Amino acid sequence: MGRYDGKVVLVTGAASGLGRAVAVRVASEGAMVLGVDVSAAGLAETADLVAKASVETSGGTAEMRQHTGDVSLPATGRDAVAAAVSAFGKLDVLVNCAGLIRSARLDDVTEADWDLQLNVNLKGTFFMCQAAIPHLLASHGNVVNVASNAGLMGVSYAAAYNASKFGVIGITKSLAMEFIREPIRINAVAPAGMVTPLTTGYVMPRDPDFELMARYTGFRAMAQPEEVAAVIAMLGSDDAANVHGAVWAADGGVTAG
């Protein structure tokens, strides 16, 4: 029996990186998955990986449905949740992985870049929660939001990203308190750098001070997304039944001291 047998999991940002790794991981443990992303091609690739993982580990019982949409639009959250419930009859876990970063010095931050990061990382997380929580209350399910070490410490040249990830932690704790009397768990994971398109495509700010940047890069290599996906799978499973309102650092010690 897999930890996710019979469970329905909605994963945003599922077309690549951490979202893809989460979709594959929970499917390998028996979950039925609905993946959400703006990239239809990426979602199709993830669906193929999910099918392969399901065959290898759970006899081919899991599957992933695909929902293309921009999580910064509240309608995407409503439509994606409705699609998951229509396809599978319920929703047990929401994993908010969708995110992006634009690095820039203070003077170089544009309103468009500010809005993009806050809309995807923060607004998207909130409105996905708003759409999903009524169904998660019915299933006694849970939410795992993906924050960042940048939600726990200052990061040079990333004011908008910092604001969005501090906000994700704030949303997590606020909703955890709002629903503390209800049969639901709401938590967050805070990774540091991972080998994903978000970091491999990272564009340095103008004239960066690498000594400043070294303070939050840590002493260990960047994580593979599968390593962080394993933490998320644990937190979203019944093994973490007593964990609520928590922020689990999965950052190789970056925020340890």
Q: Rounded to a whole number, what is the distance in angstroms from the first to the last CA of the chain?
A: 39
Q: Does the active-site annotation cover 4?
A: no
Question: Residues with Cβ < 8 Å from 189, sequence gap 6 or more?
Answer: 144, 145, 146, 147, 228, 231, 232, 235, 247, 248, 250
Nearest Cα to 117, choosing from 75, 159, 146, 82? 159
Cα separation, 119 vs 77, whole angstroms: 13
* Lookup: tokens for 146: 């993906």
Residue from 157, 161, 202, 216 carrying the catalytic annotation: 161
β-pairing, 93-96 vs 8-12, is: parallel
Cα separation, 125 vs 168, whole angstroms: 7
110: left (phi over 0), alpha (psi -120 to 50) or beta: beta
Q: Which residues form the catalytic set?
A: 161
